[in-house]
């Protein structure tokens, strides 16, 4: 569901969003949906690193509600053909900001109460949203690569 939300509102420069890392990612995946000549692109891999269920109300052994808290990591694999690493980093930072804007824009990540797994909140728990950015490195053909991670929690409320 998070991958669907990010795909539907994919920020400029994000080629594809994968619900999990595929066996191989093609370079073209980073520039999918981008106009020809776009110098920078990326893919996002969604990873659920931890989930925890907690009963939140009375209701006996078969009725009631539970919160399910998922710790999510969005791995951003960014590539740029900008001539200067500083320009590549600017493009990267713009993509990260656009991802943050998407998370902030809808705390339910596009779900509704009638969705199969409605999200109560995303990125609003005490951990908030954390961004970790790696240093730019030069890859083959002069491309600049930057890996970064956006971490946040997603809370569902389910009947259980």
**Position 90 in a domain:** yes
**Position 139 in a domain:** yes
Read off the pTM.
0.87
Specify the DSSP element, H or E, that contains 143.
none
**Position 129 in a domain:** yes
**Position 57 in a domain:** no
| Dihedral sign computed on CA atoms, order 147, 10, 31, 46 | positive
**Position 160 in a domain:** no
**Position 65 in a domain:** no
Model confidence over 33-72: pLDDT tens digits? Answer: 888 888 999 999 999 999 999 887 766 666 678 889 999 9
DSSP letter, residue 138: E
Residue 42, domain extent: 2-50+74-152
Model confidence over 120-133: pLDDT tens digits? Answer: 888 888 889 999 99
Total domain count for the chain?
1
**Position 92 in a domain:** yes
């Amino acid at each position: 569901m998070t991958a669907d939300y990010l795909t539907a509102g994919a920020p400029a420069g994000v080629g594809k969003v994968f619900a999990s890392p595929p066996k191989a990612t093609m370079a073209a995946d980073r520039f999918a949906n981008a106009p020809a000549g776009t110098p920078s692109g990326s893919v996002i891999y969604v990873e659920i690193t931890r989930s925890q269920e907690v009963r939140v109300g009375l209701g006996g052994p078969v009725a009631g509600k539970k919160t399910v808290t998922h710790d999510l990591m969005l791995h951003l694999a960014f590539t740029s053909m900008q001539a200067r690493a500083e320009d590549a980093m600017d493009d990267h930072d713009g993509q990260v900001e656009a991802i943050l804007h998407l998370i902030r824009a809808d705390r339910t990540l596009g779900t509704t109460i009638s969705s199969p797994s409605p999200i109560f909140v995303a990125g609003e728990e005490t951990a908030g949203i954390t961004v970790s950015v790696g240093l730019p490195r030069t890859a083959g053909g002069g491309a600049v690569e930057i890996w970064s991670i956006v971490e946040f929690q997603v809370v569902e409320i389910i009947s259980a």
